[in-house]
Amino acid sequence: MTGLVIRNTGSAYTVLTPEGIEYNCKIKGKFRLKGIRTTNPVAVGDHVEIAVQPDQSAYITAIEPRRNYIIRRASNLSKEAHIIAANLDQTFLIVTLTHPVTSTTFIDRFLSTSEAYRIPATIVINKVDLLTEPDDRELLDAVTYLYTSIGYPVIHTSTKTGEGIDALSRALANRITLLSGNSGVGKTTIINTLIPGLELRTAEISDVHLTGMHTTTFSEMYPLREGGYIVDTPGVRGFGTIDFDKYQVAHYFPEIFRASANCRYGNCTHTHEPGCAVLQALDNQEIAQSRYTSYLSILSDIEPSKYRNGNS
Ligand SMILES: Nc1nc2c(ncn2[C@@H]2O[C@H](COP(=O)(O)OP(=O)(O)O)[C@@H](O)[C@H]2O)c(=O)[nH]1
Ligand SMILES: [Mg+2]
Ligand SMILES: [Zn+2]
């Protein structure tokens, strides 16, 4: 029998069959990914083969090849990775411009990681009902313009007024979407709005354990009325960055990458080199300072002494 893994808590997996039956499964045998050790060999979004015993206990016996999968390091010290989800069609990052403020660095790290996985990303700006002052509206317009001009769709939502919820539903329909965002931006409220009757608690205990070493990472997929699924990963902020090579980082900032075609040197890091077209574009305000700052902040993770940005 085959099915879709819709929940993963510790070593337990819930598998949904095409007939609509959910089996609580363990794993039988060994599944390994080439080159990395993982804490969970199977993830939410995996299509699997299962064997059901006469006593109704069930085992996952095989995994179908994945289209993609996203991982994060199991803990800071660990060499093991945790697979957050597999076979995603898109990622949606929920952000807010106030209560709380989502930093552009956080947004850009998320977008660049999504680029690295080659999974299309959309930005959802929630709580737009709080943006009433002219200054707030200007900020909303500026952020929206910044990201749409790079090529990322931006949706404005408010779970208080209902603004944008239909547009959000349409963008999610018939796709498997990872929903991500800092704590407090309204992720749980949005999921509850999209899936009435689910009634997720808005304050998750797992949020408190974010920095703990032994966080039981937990992912779940929720079916949408219009078809498709939302993947929720309470306690996982963004993806955790992939280990980029310093020349790769620019590839994951589309506008920086486009500009870099005209750099004098092929191995330009766009930080100090003569003839750098990216620095030129930054000067001409064709590349936003906030995006360039985020680019530098990722570079500084790779070579801290070299690229640390003085004022960030
Ligand atoms: N003003 C306003 N508050 C919202 C909106 N969406 C969620 N909230 C509130 O923001 C707080 C955090 O929401 P929650 O869904 O728990 O955020 P999460 O941590 O991202 O899951 C709650 O008090 C919600 O009622 C919105 O669109 N507008
Ligand atoms: Mg929540
Ligand atoms: Zn350059």
Question: Of 64-73, 213-222, 257-266, which has the strongest mean pLDDT?
Answer: 257-266
Question: Is the confidence at residue 163, as pLDDT, over 70?
Answer: yes
Distance 212 CA to ligand 2 centre (A): 18
pLDDT in tens, 67-96: 999 888 766 666 778 888 999 999 999 999
pLDDT for residue 312 is more than 50: no
Domain 88-232 CATH class label: alpha beta
What band does 308 get if pLDDT is binned at 50, 70 and 90?
low
- Ligand 1 pocket, residue 208 CB under 6 Å: no
Query: Is the beta carbon of 159 within 6 A of some atom in ligand 1?
Result: yes
Q: Where are the domains of the chain?
A: 2-67, 88-232, 249-307
Determine contact, residues 294/102, Cβ cutoff 8 Å. no
User: Does domain 249-307 sit in CATH 3.40.5.50?
Assistant: no
- Any idea which ligand is nearest the CA of 205? 2
How far is Cα 301 from Cα 248, in angstroms, rounded to an integer?
13
181 lines ligand 1 (CB under 6 A): yes
> Is a pLDDT exceeding 80 seen at residue 206?
no
pLDDT one-digit tens code per residue, 121-159: 999 999 999 999 999 999 999 999 999 999 999 999 999
Tell whether ligand 1 has an atom less than 6 A from the beta carbon of residue 177.
no
Least confident segment among 5-9, 39-43, 214-218:
214-218
What is the pLDDT, as a whole number, of residue 212? Answer: 41
Ligand 1: which of 96, 189, 192, 204 to mutate, most ligand atoms within 8 Å of CB?
Answer: 189
pLDDT at 34 over 70: no
Q: Does the CB atom of residue 130 touch ligand 1 within 6 A? A: yes
Q: Is 189 in the pocket of ligand 1 (CB under 6 A)?
A: yes
Do 249-307 and 2-67 fall under one CATH topology? Answer: no
Whole-model pTM: value is 0.91
Query: Which of the listed residues 202, 205, 210 should we mutate to test ligand 1's pocket, taking the one with most ligand atoms within 8 A of CB?
Result: 202
Lowest pLDDT segment from 131-140, 192-201, 277-286, 289-298: 192-201
Q: Specify the CATH superfamily of domain 2-67.
A: Nucleic acid-binding proteins (2.40.50.140)
